[in-house]
Amino acid sequence: MTNNAAVDGGLQSAMRRALELAAHGPATGVNPRVGCVVVNPAGEILAEGWHRGAGTRHAEVDALAQLAPDAAHGSTVVVTLEPCNHVGRTGPCAQALIEAGVARVVYSVTDPGEHSCGGAERLRAAGIDVQGGLLADVGEAFLGDWLSAARLGRPFVTVKWASSLDGRAAAADGSSRWITGAEARLDVHRRRSASDTILVGTGTVLADDPALTARDADGGLLARQPVPVVVGRREVPASAALFAHPQQPLFFDGLDLSALLADLHTRAVRSVFIEGGPTVASAFVAAGLVDEYLAYLAPTLIGGPRLAITDIGVATIGEQRRLSIHSLDRLGDDVLIVARPLTP
C-alpha cells in the first residue's frame, strides 16, 4: 500500500533540492535558473542537474547526461520550471524526457514564455504523468525578476532612493552624502550587483559624477557589475566617471520609457535598478512602469525642496498610488522598506 504522505514529502524534498541546484546558475541574463532531480520509483536520487547559462545544457538534459542509456526509464523527474518545448540553442527538454522514457514529471512553476511554453502538454500527449505547481510559492519567489520579465515582456524595474524621514533625498544645496549609514549603502551595492543594469538620469551624472559600480566595504569592485544606463538629452562629458565603468554604458533620450525598456529586453536585460535622480524615478512611477520600490529611510530630518520623488501625476488623494509592504528590515540605524504596487 502506497503511503501518499510519504510520496508527497519525498517529492517536496526533491523539489527543494532542485531549487538548491538551480541557485548554482547565473542569477542575471535572459535565461532562468533551473534545477532538476531524477529519482527512481523508490524515491532514491539517480541524477541531478542545473542550467549553467545561455547555450549550455538545460537542467533536465544536464541531469539525464549523468545517467547511462535507459537508466532514466520509469523514473520521476522533479524540475523547478516546466520543461521547455522549443528549439533554441538547445533542443526541447520535453522531447528529451520523452525519449528518455521517464514515467512522471513534477515541476514547480509554469513556463510563461511565448515560445518555450507547452512542455507539460507535450509530455502528457506522450503518455507521461505530469504534475505542476509543487512548492509554487517558493518557486515563484526564487525565479523573481526573471519570471516577471518573462510575463511582462520587459525588464523588472526597481526604483531605489535614500531619504530622511521627511522624504528629502538631499539638502537644499544638493548635497546628499551621506543620508544613510554604511550598512544601508552596502545593501545598495549588493543589490546593484544583482541587477543587470543600473539606470540614472543625465542630471545625476552631471551633478554627482557617479561611478555607477557595485563595490564592497573596502571600495573594491564586486565580481558582477551592472551595465550603466543613462537617460536624458543633455550631453555627458567624456571625462565622466561612468566611462571608466567595467561595462559599456548605454544612452537613451528618455522620451519613450516603454520603448527604452523594450530595447533593453531585446538585449537580454531582465532587471533594471533605477537610482535616480528624482526626475527620472518619478517619470517611471508616473508611467506605471515600476515593479518594486526600495526606500532607505534614515532617522534624520532635512526639510527643504529636495524630495526623493516629485510629480507622479497624483492631483487628488483619490489618485494616490497604493503599495503593499513586501519586507521591512533594519540596517544599522536605517530602515529599508521594500514595497510593490498593489495588484488588481
Cell 550598512 belongs to 183
Flag whether pLDDT at 5 surpasses 70.
Answer: no
The predicted pLDDT at position 3 comes to 46
For the ranges 81-85, 149-153, 182-186, the lowest mean pLDDT is seen at 149-153
Which residue is catalytic, options 20, 44, 48, 60?
60
3-class SS string, 224-270: CCCEEEEECCCCCCCCCHHHHCCCCCEEECCCCHHHHHHHHHHCCCC
Flag whether pLDDT at 216 surpasses 50.
Answer: yes
Flag whether pLDDT at 1 surpasses 50.
Answer: no
Cβ atoms within 10 Å, residue 212: 27
* Domains 4-149 and 154-341 equal at CATH topology level: no
Domain parsing of the chain, residue ranges: 4-149, 154-341
Flag whether pLDDT at 7 surpasses 90.
Answer: no
The predicted pLDDT at position 34 comes to 96
**Is domain 4-149 annotated with CATH 3.40.140.10?**
yes
Q: Which residue has the higher pLDDT, 188 or 4?
A: 188
Average pLDDT over residues 271-299: 94
Average pLDDT over residues 49-72: 93
**Whether 235 is catalytic:** no
The predicted pLDDT at position 65 comes to 95
The predicted pLDDT at position 26 comes to 87
pLDDT digits (tens, 9 = 90+) for 121-170: 999 999 999 999 999 999 999 998 888 888 888 999 999 999 999 999 99
Flag whether pLDDT at 2 surpasses 70.
Answer: no
For the ranges 26-40, 60-74, 84-98, 318-332, the lowest mean pLDDT is seen at 84-98
Average pLDDT over residues 113-118: 71
Confidence of residue 285 (pLDDT cuts 50, 70, 90): very high
Dump strand ranges (E) for 129-212. 129-131, 156-164, 197-201
Q: Which residue has the higher pLDDT, 31 or 107?
A: 107
Q: What is the mean pLDDT of the chain?
A: 91
Average pLDDT over residues 188-200: 95
The predicted pLDDT at position 90 comes to 65
Cβ atoms within 10 Å, residue 325: 10
- Give residues with Cβ within 8 angstroms of 266, minimum separation 6: none
In the CATH hierarchy, which fold is given to the domain comprising 154-341?
Answer: Dihydrofolate Reductase, subunit A (3.40.430)
